[in-house]
Amino acid sequence: KQEVTQIPAALSVPEGENLVLNCSFTDSAIYNLQWFRQDPGKGLTSLLLIQSSQREQTSGRLNASLDKSSGRSTLYIAASQPGDSATYLCAVSPIYGNKLVFGAGTILRVKS
């Protein structure tokens, strides 16, 4: 059974700092991995999707990497801003089907 773990559970950083969020999964037979952002009381916004054949994806100040063999992904946020404060969730999609398995998320607070 696929399990997804995110560390740390919460993170507080000063504005401008670069930071890394971690995601690990137990079964490497995945099709892709996605990083989502969730603002308080809101739905999920997809940030980056990495196919299993890819190593990384970049969008603006965000860079996500994937190491399928070790079951790990990282989300790197450069020059963090208060507007980046949110919960960040990662989710893996297994080889068969499109059932996303989510981690519990990392709550990020960027202080101005």
Partner 1 sequence: DAMVIQNPRYQVTQFGKPVTLSCSQTLNHNVMYWYQQKSSQAPKLLFHYYDKDFNNEADTPDNFQSRRPNTSFCFLDIRSPGLGDAAMYLCATSRLPQGGETQYFGPGTRLLVL
**Per CB under 8 A, does 40 bind partner 1?**
no
Least separation in angstroms between CB 112 and partner 1: 25
SS3 category, 83: helix
CA–chain centroid gap for 6, Å, is 8
Paired residues of 33 in beta bridges: 50, 92
- Residue closer to partner 1 by CB (options 89, 110) is 89
**Per CB under 8 A, does 106 bind partner 1?**
no
Least separation in angstroms between CB 10 and partner 1: 10
**Per CB under 8 A, does 34 bind partner 1?**
yes
Least separation in angstroms between CB 79 and partner 1: 27
Residues 6+ apart with CB under 8 A from 41: none
Compute the distance between CA of residue 82 and CA of residue 66 in angstroms, rounded to an integer. Answer: 26
Site string for partner 1, 44-73 (x = CB under 8 A): xxx--x-x----------------------
Contact indicator for 21, 6 with CB cutoff of 8 Å: yes
- At position 8, the amino acid (one-letter code) is P
The site for partner 1 (CB under 8 A) is made up of: 4, 30-32, 34, 36, 41-46, 49, 51, 89, 91, 93-105
